[in-house]
C-alpha cells in the first residue's frame, strides 16, 4: 500500500468514526444535504457497534449487515430521486425491546415471549419508520420492563457506559447505554417507574417522560387503565429529544387517552429567557427519602446553574404524607402488573419462568379488592392536587433522578441505600414515582459526575401539558453545562 493510499484510508476511517459522534439533528442535516450517504452512515454505525457493543450489551437482535446496508442504499436512491422521507431518513434506530417492530422479534427480556419477528409496529415505532429511520435491532431491557436494572435471561445484563462493572439502569438501560456509547443518534424509551429517567441519569444523557397521553402507548392490549407507563424520547442533546418527541407525539385513534402535542420539533422553539422563573427544590422530601450523600451534593451544586439562568430557587415540600404515596404506588403497580402478567402466573409451567419480583407483583395484586383500588386512585388524586398547589407558587420543580449511583452488575437490586434497608426490589427508585402518579412531564438532565467518576441526573418536572416548558428549561441548562457531550472513555479512546 502506497503512502497516499494509506493516508486516504486513514482519512476515510476517521470520517466514518466521526459520523457516530454527530448529534441526531446534525446527522439528519448531513444526510439531507447529501454531504454523507445513508450507506456511509450505516457502515460507520455497524463498525462502531461491532467494537463497542460487546463492552455494554446494549443492542440486541442486531440484523444482518448486508440487509441493513441494502436498506441504506435504497434510502440513498430515494434521495437521488428527490424523495425525502423525513428528518430520520436513513438514520439507524433500535427500538426498546418492549415495543413491537415489524421484522424484528420482541423478547421483552423473557423466555415466555415469542422470538418470531413481529408483523406490526407499535405506534411509536411506526411514526419513527414513517420519518425514514432504518431499524437495526432492539435495545436491551429488564424482564417485562420490571426493575431499574436491565438484565434478563434472554440477553443478559446491560452495562454502564462510564463503568462497565456497573449497571446501566432500566428498564431502558440498553437505550441509555447505546446513546452514551454513540451506537445510536437518538433512542426511544418507556417509563413507568423512571424507566427512561433512571438510565438517562446513569449514562449521562437526556430522558424525557412526557405528560400522560402525549405519546400514544401501544397499540393493543388494555386501553383505558394502563395510565402509569408512557413512551418517550432519549438523546444526547435537548434539541434531539424535542425533535424525536415531536415525531412520537400526537393523537392516534387506536389510543383513546392520547392527545395533541405543543412541540413542533423546531429547535428555535427551545430558546427562552428564564429570568424570574420560580423553581422549587424538593430534595429528599425533607429527609423522607434515603439518598446517597454524593448524589445530593451533585444535585444541590446544580441549583446554582438555575440561579445563573436568572431563576429564583427555593426549597419546598408538598403538603402530602409521602409514605401514603408509596402505598398508593404499590396498589397501582400490583394491580396493573398483575393484569398484564396474570395469565402467565396462572399457568404453572409459565410461572416458573417469571422472575421472583414479577411473581411477587402478581401475587400481591391477587389480594387487592375493588375498594383498595378506588382508595388508591383517590389518594393519587389527592397527590395531584397537592402538586398542583405547589405549581401555584413555582413554575417548575426539581428532584434527583436516582437515590444512588449505578451499582455492581452482580447485584440485582440494592438492599440498602444511604444506610436504610430497602423492603422491595424497586424502593431504591422511589424518587421517580411522584411525576408518574401525577401524570406530569419530567426530564432527567445530566448534572455531572461524582467523586467515583459515575454520572448522575436531576429531574425537572412541570405542570400537566407544559412539556415544551420542561424542554426549554432543560435546553437553557444545557447551554450552561453540556455534560452529555463528555463521552465515555471507551468511546473517546476508540474515535
Q: Which residues are catalytic?
A: 96, 171, 195
Measured CA to CA, the distance from residue 426 to residue 443 in angstroms comes to 20
The widest CA-to-CA distance across the chain, in whole angstroms, is: 80
Distances (CA, A) of 43 to 27, 49, 309: 14, 10, 41
Q: How are strands ordered across the β-sheet holding 312-315?
A: 186-191, 230-235, 206-209, 442-449, 455-461, 396-400, 278-281, 312-315
Instruction: Count Cβ atoms below 10 Å from residue 359 Cβ, excluding itself.
Output: 15
Which are the contacts of 167, defined by CB distance < 8 A and separation ≥ 6? 149, 150, 151, 157, 158, 159, 160, 173, 202, 406, 407, 408, 409, 411
Measured CA to CA, the distance from residue 302 to residue 39 in angstroms comes to 41
Q: 409-436: buried (b, 16+ CB within 10 Å) or exposed (e) per residue?
A: beebbbeebeeeebeebbbbbbbbbbbb
What value, to the nearest 5°, has the Cα angle with vertex 87 and ends 52 and 141? 40
Which one, of 178, 203, 96, lies nearest residue 141 by Cα? 96
HSE-up of residue 287 (Cα within 13 Å, Cβ side)? 0
- Residue 96 has what DSSP assignment? B
Which are the contacts of 62, defined by CB distance < 8 A and separation ≥ 6? 49, 53, 136, 137
Question: Which bin fits 132, alpha (ψ -120 to 50), beta or left (φ > 0)?
Answer: left
First to last CA, the chain: 23
Measured CA to CA, the distance from residue 333 to residue 245 in angstroms comes to 26
Distances (CA, A) of 9 to 1, 5, 21, 473: 10, 6, 19, 43
Residue 287 φ/ψ, nearest 5 degrees: 90, -5
Measured CA to CA, the distance from residue 64 to residue 265 in angstroms comes to 32
Amino acid at each position: 500500500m502506497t503512502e497516499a493510499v494509506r493516508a486516504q484510508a486513514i482519512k476515510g476511517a476517521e470520517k466514518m468514526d466521526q459520523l457516530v459522534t454527530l448529534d441526531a439533528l446534525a446527522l439528519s442535516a448531513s444526510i439531507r444535504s447529501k454531504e454523507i450517504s445513508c450507506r456511509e452512515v450505516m457502515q460507520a454505525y455497524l463498525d462502531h457497534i461491532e467494537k463497542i457493543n460487546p463492552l455494554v450489551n446494549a443492542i440486541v437482535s442486531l440484523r444482518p449487515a448486508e440487509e441493513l446496508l441494502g436498506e441504506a442504499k435504497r434510502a440513498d436512491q430515494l434521495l437521488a430521486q428527490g424523495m425525502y422521507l423525513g428528518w430520520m431518513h436513513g438514520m439507524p434506530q433500535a427500538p426498546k425491546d418492549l415495543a413491537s417492530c415489524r421484522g424484528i422479534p420482541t423478547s421483552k427480556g423473557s423466555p415466555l415471549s415469542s422470538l418470531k419477528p413481529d408483523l406490526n409496529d407499535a405506534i411509536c415505532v411506526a411514526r419513527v419508520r414513517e420519518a425514514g429511520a432504518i431499524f437495526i435491532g432492539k435495545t436491551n431491557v429488564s424482564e417485562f420492563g420490571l426493575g431499574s436494572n436491565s438484565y434478563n435471561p434472554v440477553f443478559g445484563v446491560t452495562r454502564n457506559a462510564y463503568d462497565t462493572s456497573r449497571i446501566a439502569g432500566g428498564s431502558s438501560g440498553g437505550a441509555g447505554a447505546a446513546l452514551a456509547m454513540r451506537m445510536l443518534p437518538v433512542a426511544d424509551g418507556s417509563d413507568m417507574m423512571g424507566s427512561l429517567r433512571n438510565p438517562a441519569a446513569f449514562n449521562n444523557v437526556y430522558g424525557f417522560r412526557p405528560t400522560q397521553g402525549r405519546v400514544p402507548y401501544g397499540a393493543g392490549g388494555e386501553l383505558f387503565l394502563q395510565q402509569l407507563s408512557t413512551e418517550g424520547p432519549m438523546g444526547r442533546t435537548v434539541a434531539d429529544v424535542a425533535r424525536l418527541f415531536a415525531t412520537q407525539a400526537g393523537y392516534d385513534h387506536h389510543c383513546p387517552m392520547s392527545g395533541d402535542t405543543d412541540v413542533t420539533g423546531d429547535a428555535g422553539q427551545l430558546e427562552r429567557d428564564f429570568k424570574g422563573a420560580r423553581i422549587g427544590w424538593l430534595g429528599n422530601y425533607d429527609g423522607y427519602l434515603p439518598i446517597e450523600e454524593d448524589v445530593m451534593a451533585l444535585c444541590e451544586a446544580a441549583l446554582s446553574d438555575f440561579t445563573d439562568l436568572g431563576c429564583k430557587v427555593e426549597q419546598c415540600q408538598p403538603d402530602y404524607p409521602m409514605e401514603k404515596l408509596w402505598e398508593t404506588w404499590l396498589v397501582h403497580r400490583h394491580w396493573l402488573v398483575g393484569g398484564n402478567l396474570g395469565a402467565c402466573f396462572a399457568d404453572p409451567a409459565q410461572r416458573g419462568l417469571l422472575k421472583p419480583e414479577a411473581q411477587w407483583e402478581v401475587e400481591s395484586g391477587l389480594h387487592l379488592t375493588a375498594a383498595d383500588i378506588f382508595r388508591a386512585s383517590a389518594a393519587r388524586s389527592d397527590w395531584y392536587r397537592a402538586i398542583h398547589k405547589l405549581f401555584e407558587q413555582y413554575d417548575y420543580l426539581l428532584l434527583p433522578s436516582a437515590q444512588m449511583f449505578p451499582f455492581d452488575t452482580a447485584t440485582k437490586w440494592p438492599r440498602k441505600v444511604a444506610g436504610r434497608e430497602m423492603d422491595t426490589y424497586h424502593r431504591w427508585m422511589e424518587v421517580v414515582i411522584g411525576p408518574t402518579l401525577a401524570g406530569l412531564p419530567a426530564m432527567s438532565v445530566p448534572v455531572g459526575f461524582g467523586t467515583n467518576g459515575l454520572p448522575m441526573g436531576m429531574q425537572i418536572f412541570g405542570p400537566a401539558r407544559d412539556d415544551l416548558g420542561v424542554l426549554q428549561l432543560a435546553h437553557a441548562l444545557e447551554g450552561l453545562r453540556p455534560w452529555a457531550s463528555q463521552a465515555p472513555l471507551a468511546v473517546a479512546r476508540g474515535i
